[in-house]
Amino acid sequence: MGTKRQFRIWRGDADGGDLQDYTVEVNEGEVVLDVIHRLQATDAPDLACRWNCKAGKCGSCSMEINGMPKLGCMTRMSTFEENETITVTPLRTFPIIRDLVTDVSFNYEKARETPAFAPPPDLAPGDYRMQQVDVERSQEFRKCIECFLCQNVCHVIRDHDENKQAFSGPRYFIRAAELDMHPLDTRTDRKDYAQTEQGLGFCNITKCCTEVCPEHIKITDNGIIPMKERVVDRRYDPLVWLGSKIFRRGQVPQTSVTSGHSPGAVRSSAAGGGVHSHAGGSHDAQAEVQAQQGVNWHREVPHPTAPAVDASGKLPLTELTFDRAAAPSPFGDDVTFPLPPEHLNFAHPDQDKPNH
Ligand code: SF4
Ligand code: SF4
Ligand code: FES
């Protein structure tokens, strides 16, 4: 039997609403989302709340708990005082749909406005060669679960609807930073885009976004500040400005060009093959040769192994006596990892067209 705790939850819709008090049972180890589910099962069956994974990975259950933007499924009840009343309200920056559910389409619009990743036009998807050194800095930003807590807390739009058109918000600044740090992205200068189109200049580095990020992404220190610094360099340092006029991105010579972000990244242009390799800092000669040869689309690859059950769905007796636990590898049992480059399987839609 759990203890009784006090909750105040905002109930209402776009036309208005208010906080309502609930007394609800809480058991050891529960999180706020558990309590909301219990309320739905008992006192408030029509309480609206968005959630999916209950594991801090889908980013759906964003809400404000005692005024702090948090994930309901990752906020333990044990972090509150026994006699504390817990107030749960919807995200304030986005329009209310009902109760704890808000309309976050602002974020999807900003996502659509952000130019997508654009590799060099002569580089087919199956020919990308990336190594850890190439993604060392940008990998952090890929952890984003799109919970939009950072967007919700940012003062530029939190109480200023009028700024929304000109401001994309921290989630999309790190998207720009990620693509800017991507050695194969050539489409635009992401820093200039962030400054002129995404409203980077509105941000005054309060770091509130970093503080609420459940993935602990250093949004300001690692994403926003490096972009801001380099925007300033570009605009006000005459040498950098002159250099940028002489060597534009994408116009640098094609042989042994090192990326500005990853000194070990190598782009090589194989004569006729058009295959590019980012062989990182390892300079593995064999890997480089294999990469130059490209992918052999017609090679034999191991067939997926059938599931370890018979036609009637039962586990065969031999499986129980087998010396290896669990199911066979879907890649086949003769495969070792990491896969050599010539075994990489990528079905590019244009792979059978001439010239590929
Ligand atoms: S650091 Fe910038 S983007 Fe982040 S919350 Fe503050 S103003 Fe918004
Ligand atoms: S950057 Fe962090 S806070 Fe912002 S949407 Fe992604 S995971 Fe959420
Ligand atoms: S339910 Fe998926 S992050 Fe909370």
CB of 149 sitting under 6 A from ligand 2:
yes
- Atom of ligand 1 lying closest to residue 204 CA: 7
Q: Are residues 13 and 130 in the same domain?
A: no
pLDDT bin (cut points 50, 70, 90) of residue 293 is low
Q: Are residues 124 and 211 in the same domain?
A: yes
The enclosing domain of 193 has a CATH number of 1.10.1060.10
Examine residue 71 and state whether it is found in any structural domain, yes or no. yes
Tokens standing for residue 221: 């220190």
Examine residue 313 and state whether it is found in any structural domain, yes or no. yes
Question: Among the three residues 79, 101, 123, which one is the final residue of a domain in this structure?
Answer: 101
Q: What are phi and psi of 39, to 5 degrees?
A: -65, -40
pLDDT digits (tens, 9 = 90+) for 117-143: 888 888 877 787 888 888 889 999 999
- Atom of ligand 3 lying closest to residue 57 CA: 3
Distance 268 CA to ligand 1 centre (A): 39
Distance between start and end Cα atoms, the chain: 66
pLDDT digits (tens, 9 = 90+) for 298-340: 545 444 445 556 667 666 666 556 555 444 454 555 656 565 6
Sign of the alpha-carbon dihedral angle for 229, 205, 211, 107: negative
Question: Can you tell me whether residue 3 is helix, strand or coil?
Answer: strand
Is it the case that residue 151 has pLDDT exceeding 90? yes
CB of 170 sitting under 6 A from ligand 1:
yes
Q: How many domains does one find in the chain? A: 3
Q: Please report the pLDDT score of residue 115 as a whole number.
A: 85
> What average pLDDT is seen over the chain?
78
Q: Please report the pLDDT score of residue 281 as a whole number.
A: 34
CB of 73 sitting under 6 A from ligand 3:
yes
Q: Are residues 34 and 155 in the same domain?
A: no
| Ligand index nearest the alpha carbon of residue 224 | 1
C-beta separation of 280 from 184 below 8 A: no
Q: Are residues 95 and 116 in the same domain?
A: no
Q: Please report the pLDDT score of residue 332 as a whole number.
A: 53
CB of 221 sitting under 6 A from ligand 1:
no
Residue partners of 200: CB distance under 8 A and separation at least 6: 173, 176, 194, 224, 227, 228, 231
Q: Is the preceding peptide bond at 338 cis, omega within 30 degrees of 0?
A: yes
CB of 209 sitting under 6 A from ligand 1:
yes
Q: Are residues 67 and 117 in the same domain?
A: no
Q: What residue numbers bound the domain in which 313 lies?
A: 303-343
Q: Please report the pLDDT score of residue 30 as a whole number.
A: 97
- Atom of ligand 1 lying closest to residue 220 CA: 1
Distance 153 CA to ligand 1 centre (A): 8
- Atom of ligand 2 lying closest to residue 209 CA: 3
Matching residue, tokens 């800017």: 180
Examine residue 282 and state whether it is found in any structural domain, yes or no. no
The enclosing domain of 81 has a CATH number of 3.10.20.30
What secondary structure does DSSP assign to 167-197, as a single string? ---HHHHHHHHHHHT-TT--SS-HHHHHHHT
Q: Please report the pLDDT score of residue 236 as a whole number.
A: 60
Q: Identify which of 146, 152, 168, 173 to mutate to test ligand 2's pocket (most ligand atoms within 8 A of the CB).
A: 146
- Atom of ligand 1 lying closest to residue 207 CA: 1
CB of 279 sitting under 6 A from ligand 1:
no
CA-nearest residue for atom 3, ligand 2, is 213
**Averaged pLDDT, 86-94:** 97
CB of 70 sitting under 6 A from ligand 2:
no
Is it the case that residue 184 has pLDDT exceeding 80? yes
Give the start-end residues of each E strand in the chain. Answer: 3-13, 16-26, 62-65, 68-71, 86-89, 96-98, 101-102, 257-258, 266-267
Q: Are residues 38 and 136 in the same domain?
A: no
**Which of the two residues, 272 and 61, has the higher pLDDT score?**
61
Q: Please report the pLDDT score of residue 118 as a whole number.
A: 83
Distance 31 CA to ligand 1 centre (A): 28
pLDDT bin (cut points 50, 70, 90) of residue 113 is confident
- Give the type of residue at 65: I
Distance 46 CA to ligand 3 centre (A): 20
Q: Please report the pLDDT score of residue 269 as a whole number.
A: 33
CB of 156 sitting under 6 A from ligand 1:
yes
**Averaged pLDDT, 253-275:** 34
What secondary structure does DSSP assign to 240-274, as a single string? HHHHHHHS-TT-S-SSSEEPSS-TT-EE---TTT-
Residue partners of 249: CB distance under 8 A and separation at least 6: 186, 189
Neighbours of 318 (CB within 10 A): 8
C-beta separation of 194 from 205 below 8 A: no
pLDDT digits (tens, 9 = 90+) for 9-41: 999 999 999 999 999 999 999 999 999 999 999
Cα 103 to Cα 221: distance, rounded to the nearest angstrom: 29
Distance 241 CA to ligand 1 centre (A): 27
Residue partners of 38: CB distance under 8 A and separation at least 6: 24, 25
Question: Among the three residues 101, 123, 148, which one is the final residue of a domain in this structure?
Answer: 101
Cα 257 to Cα 255: distance, rounded to the nearest angstrom: 6
- Atom of ligand 1 lying closest to residue 153 CA: 5
Examine residue 354 and state whether it is found in any structural domain, yes or no. no
